[in-house]
Amino acid sequence: MRPFHALAVGALVLPLSAFAADPHSYAQPDQVRVTHLDLDLKIDFPRKQLDGQATLKLDWKDAKAPSLVLDTRDLKIASVEGVDDAGKATALKYALAPRDKELGSKLTIDTPRHPVQVRIVYSTVPTASGLQWLTPEQTADKKLPFMFSQSESIHARSWVPLQDSPAIRFTYSAHVSAPKDVRVVMSAINDAKHPLDGDYRFNQPHPIPSYLLAIGAGDIAARETGPRSAVYAEPSVVGKAAREFEDTEKLIAATEKLYGPYAWDRYDLLVLPPSFPFGGMENPNMTFATPTLLVGDKSLVSVISHELAHSWSGNLVTSAAWRDIWLNEGFTTYVQGRITEAVYGKSLADEEALISARGLEKSIKDKAIAENAQRLAPKPGIGADDSISEVPYDKGSWFLRTLEQRFGRDTFDAYLKGYFAHFAFQSITTEQMLDYLKANLFDKNPGKMSWDEVKQWVYEPGIPKDAPLPDSPRFDAIDKQRAAFLGGTLAADKLDAKGWNTQEWMYFLDGMPDAPALDKVRQLDASWHLTGTPNAEIGMRWYTHAIAAGDKDVWNAAAEHMTRIGRLYLTMPLYKAFAKTPEGLAFAEQVYAKARGGYHPMTQDAVEAVFAKAKKGSK
Identified catalytic residue from 259, 393, 415, 575: 393
Say if CB 235 and CB 394 are below 8 A apart.
Answer: no
Q: What is the DSSP string of 358-424?
A: HHHHHHHHTT-S-TGGGSSSPPS---TGGG-SHIIIIIHHHHHHHHHHHH-HHHHHHHHHHHHHHTT
Q: Would residue 307 show up in a list of annotated catalytic residues for this protein? A: yes
Q: Is 306 annotated as a binding residue?
A: yes
Say if CB 316 and CB 425 are below 8 A apart.
Answer: yes
Q: Which of 314, 218, 332, 302 is nearest to 264 (CA)?
A: 314
At residue 216, the 3 state secondary structure works out as strand
Q: Which of 326, 323, 328 is nearest to 313 (CA)?
A: 328
Identified catalytic residue from 244, 307, 341, 352: 307
Strands 183-186 and 49-60: what pairing? unpaired
Q: Which amino acid is at 363?
A: S
Q: Is 256 annotated as a binding residue?
A: no
In angstroms, the CA 513 to CA 541 distance is 11
Report the C-alpha dihedral over residues 298, 303, 305, 309, rounded to 10 degrees: -170
Q: Is 282 annotated as a binding residue?
A: no
What is the separation, in whole angstroms, between the first and last Cα of the chain? 37
> Where would I find the H helices in 245-325?
248-259, 302-309
Q: Would residue 393 show up in a list of annotated catalytic residues for this protein? A: yes
Burial class (CB in 10 A: 0-12, 13-18, 19+), 264: buried
In angstroms, the CA 209 to CA 40 distance is 19
Say if CB 354 and CB 507 are below 8 A apart.
Answer: yes
In angstroms, the CA 398 to CA 537 distance is 22
Q: Cite the annotated binding site by residue number.
A: 306, 310, 329
Q: Cite the annotated binding site for Zn(2+) by residue number.
A: 306, 310, 329
Residues identified as active-site: 307, 393
